[in-house]
C-alpha cells in the first residue's frame, strides 16, 4: 500500500497543470475601494486620460477588464504615474496565470524594490514561484512570512508529502487537491466535487480503494466520457488492479 501511495503521488504530480498547481491561487492587490465615479467612467478614463484618475481608481479599473493585455497596460500606466508596488505585483500575477515564471519573477522583484518587500501578496507570490521552481523549503518560509491562505499552505504540504497537515488546511474543501490529500492520508471516502475528468478519475480511485464499485464505475465512466485518454490510463493503473477482470471495467476500457 505504501508503494501505491508513492506511485499515486508521482502520477498525479505529473498530470495536467491543475493537479498540484499553485499559480491559480496567486494574489493580486487592490485595497478596499468604493469608487465615486461610475465603473464605465473609470474604465473609459483609464485608457483615454489615466492621469485624471487616482492610483486607487486606476488599480480598480484594471479589475474591470477581462482582457489580460488591457489590465497589464493599465498597471503599466500606474507604474508610470505612481510607481506603486501593487502594479508590479499584479503584472506578476498576470504572468503567473500564463505560467510565465521568468517574467513574473522580474516584476515581483520590482514590487519588492518599490515598497512591497513586506507585503503579504508579494511574499505569497514569491512563495508560489519558489514552489513552482521546486524550492519547497523556501516556499514554506515565504508563506509563513506572508501568513498566506490555508489553500496555499495545504497545497505546499501536499507537495512536501505532509498529507495530514494538508487535509487540515483543506478542511471543508472538495477540490481536486483537497480530495487527493485526503486519499493519500487514508480517507478513501473523500470525493471531489469539481465536474472535470481529472476529478471523476480521482473519485473512481477512491471507489476502488474503498471497495465501492458504484462510485468506482460511475466515476470512471464519467472520466472516460469527458476525456477518452483515461481509458488507456485506467488499463495500466495499479489502483484498478483488482478490477481488471470485472465485466464493467472491461466494458468501459475496451
Residues 42-85 pLDDT 10s:
999 999 999 999 999 999 999 898 899 999 999 999 999 999 99
Domains identified in the chain and CATH numbers? 23-165 (1.25.40.10), 188-253 (no CATH)
Number of residues that this document lists for the chain: 254
| Average pLDDT value for residue range 199-224 | 97
CA distance linking residue 91 with residue 84, whole number of Å: 12
pLDDT at 151 over 80: yes
The share of the chain scoring above pLDDT 90, in percent, equals 70
* Helix runs in the chain, H state only: 2-13, 39-48, 55-62, 68-82, 85-96, 101-111, 120-132, 136-146, 150-160, 163-169, 176-184, 197-210, 213-226, 229-236, 247-253
Least reliable range by pLDDT among 14-28, 52-66, 202-216, 234-248: 14-28
Whether 58 contacts 81, CB under 8 Å: yes
Amino acid at each position: 500500500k505504501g508503494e501505491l501511495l508513492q506511485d499515486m503521488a508521482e502520477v498525479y504530480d505529473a498530470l495536467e497543470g491543475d493537479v498540484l498547481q499553485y499559480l491559480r491561487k496567486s494574489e493580486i492587490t487592490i485595497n478596499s475601494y468604493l469608487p465615486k465615479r461610475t465603473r464605465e467612467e473609470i474604465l473609459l478614463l483609464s485608457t483615454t486620460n489615466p492621469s485624471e484618475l487616482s492610483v486607487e481608481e486606476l488599480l480598480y479599473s484594471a479589475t474591470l477588464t477581462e482582457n489580460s493585455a488591457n489590465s497589464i497596460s493599465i498597471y503599466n500606466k500606474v507604474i508610470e504615474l505612481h510607481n506603486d508596488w501593487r502594479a508590479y505585483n499584479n503584472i506578476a500575477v498576470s504572468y503567473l496565470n500564463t505560467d510565465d515564471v521568468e517574467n513574473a519573477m522580474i516584476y515581483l522583484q520590482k514590487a519588492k524594490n518599490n515598497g512591497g518587500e513586506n507585503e503579504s501578496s508579494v511574499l505569497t507570490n514569491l512563495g508560489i514561484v519558489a514552489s513552482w521552481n521546486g524550492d519547497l523549503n523556501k516556499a514554506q518560509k515565504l508563506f509563513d512570512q506572508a501568513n498566506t491562505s490555508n489553500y496555499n499552505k495545504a497545497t505546499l504540504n501536499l507537495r512536501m508529502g505532509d498529507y495530514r497537515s494538508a487535509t487540515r488546511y483543506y478542511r471543508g474543501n472538495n477540490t481536486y487537491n483537497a480530495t487527493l490529500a485526503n486519499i493519500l492520508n487514508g480517507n478513501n471516502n473523500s470525493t471531489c466535487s469539481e465536474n472535470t475528468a481529472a476529478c471523476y478519475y480521482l473519485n473512481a480511485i477512491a471507489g476502488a480503494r474503498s471497495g465501492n464499485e458504484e462510485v468506482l464505475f460511475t466515476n470512471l465512466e464519467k472520466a472516460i466520457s469527458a476525456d477518452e485518454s483515461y481509458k488507456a490510463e485506467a488499463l495500466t493503473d495499479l489502483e484498478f488492479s483488482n478490477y481488471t477482470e470485472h465485466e464493467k471495467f472491461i466494458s468501459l476500457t475496451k
